[in-house]
Amino acid sequence: MANAASFLTEMTLKMLDKVERAGLSPLHQQPVAQARLSYRMGVGAMEGERVEVARVDNFSIPGPAGSIPARLWAPSHDAGLPVLLYLHGGGFVVGGIDTCEAMCRRIAQQSGAAVVAIDYRLAPEHHFPAGLDDSFAALQWLAAEGASLGLDPKRIAVGGDSAGGTLGATLALMARDAGLALALQLLFYPSVEPSAMTASYQAYSKNLMLDEPLMRWFETQARGPGFKSDWHREPMLAASHQGVAPAWIGLAECDPLADEGRKYAKVLQEAGVPVQLTVWPGVVHDFINMGRFIPEAYQAHAAAAQALKAAFGL
């Protein structure tokens, strides 16, 4: 495959040049606490405008290891709004409610649905599957208690980006097994089979936003002693994908994870699951958090919102 730069959009190249000229240390070369702060600051500098929404509530959800911080955004105070449970990206190590807020606000505003994000437990303090356990607890709570927030517990979707997309895909499988019906799984460039060596990994894992050293660092932090990968971390490996929620999958073309997303879309389709797949050309991993520089970010937010609107019948 040709040099990755030849595929990148002009705005993506300009953004990468700004990052390079800033001379910041790569996340994987920083202590974990500093990496978290750096990622949060980086998203804050690139995410673009945060739109106003009618309702913003901070609350907590009972979890397996204590309260899980959560935030709700809604376009109105109407009762009975459907809800998207959104799981942020960050390799199971960095990221949080604040780093996905700009997009969650836009999706709520444009879809007419409420969006709830959580601060699930992060590695290395809490190895995988701690974050997954928190995410499933939040999903179960929304189904059982969402009405207490004025939400419709019968209309729930799950979603996320990168590591959060992994969590969303796995939650869709767990919800199916638990008899919990979901309207949609909304996945941005999920990591669903990191053990596979794909063509996109080989082409785009050097000198871009998500490179091989960073991916190795994330996995090392996330995996505790004795970790054995199974379908909870690699949902591609699930014995069956039949009966899971319909999927909307959004990918960045110049992303090591792009082929995993394509393959997962195919696996779901072969299992009879309705899938809508969109690939944004010439952009890189995490582009949805770069609206200040990359216009495709807002296009992706709007497309996700439209998919959610359709799934909820809004």
pLDDT (tens digit per residue) in 228-250? 889 999 999 999 999 999 999 99
Contact between 118 and 68 under an 8 Å Cβ cutoff? The reply is yes
Given the residues 162, 191, 200, 205, select the one marked as catalytic: 162
The CATH code belonging to domain 4-312 is 3.40.50.1820
pLDDT classification of 227: cutoffs 50, 70, 90: confident
Tokens 């604040």 belong to 98
Q: Per-residue pLDDT averaged across 73-95, rounded?
A: 98
Largest separation between any pair of C-alpha atoms in the chain: 54
Does 134 qualify as catalytic in the annotation? no
> What is the domain partition of the chain in residue ranges?
4-312
Question: What is residue 23's three-state secondary structure?
Answer: coil
- Whole-angstrom distance, CA of residue 253 vs CA of residue 52: 30
Q: State the DSSP string of 199-212.
A: HHHHHHSSSSSS-H
What's the confidence (pLDDT) of residue 224? 84
What's the confidence (pLDDT) of residue 255? 97
Q: Is pLDDT of 1 > 80?
A: no
What's the confidence (pLDDT) of residue 106? 98
pLDDT (tens digit per residue) in 248-293? 999 999 999 999 999 999 999 999 999 999 999 999 999 999 999 9
Q: Where are the beta strands (DSSP E) in the chain?
A: 55-63, 66-74, 81-87, 114-118, 151-161, 185-188, 247-254, 275-284
- Whole-angstrom distance, CA of residue 200 vs CA of residue 305: 27
Does 205 qualify as catalytic in the annotation? no
pLDDT classification of 309: cutoffs 50, 70, 90: very high
Q: Is pLDDT of 4 > 80?
A: no
Contact between 259 and 253 under an 8 Å Cβ cutoff? The reply is no
pLDDT (tens digit per residue) in 113-153? 999 999 999 999 999 999 999 999 999 999 999 999 999 99
pLDDT classification of 2: cutoffs 50, 70, 90: very low
Strand order of the β-sheet with 114-118 is 55-63, 66-74, 114-118, 81-87, 151-161, 185-188, 247-254, 275-284
**Entry pTM:** 0.97
Given the residues 255, 259, 286, 301, select the one marked as catalytic: 255
Given the residues 191, 285, 286, 301, select the one marked as catalytic: 285
Mean pLDDT of the chain: 95
Residue 2 — φ and ψ, nearest 5°?
-65, 170
Does 255 qualify as catalytic in the annotation? yes
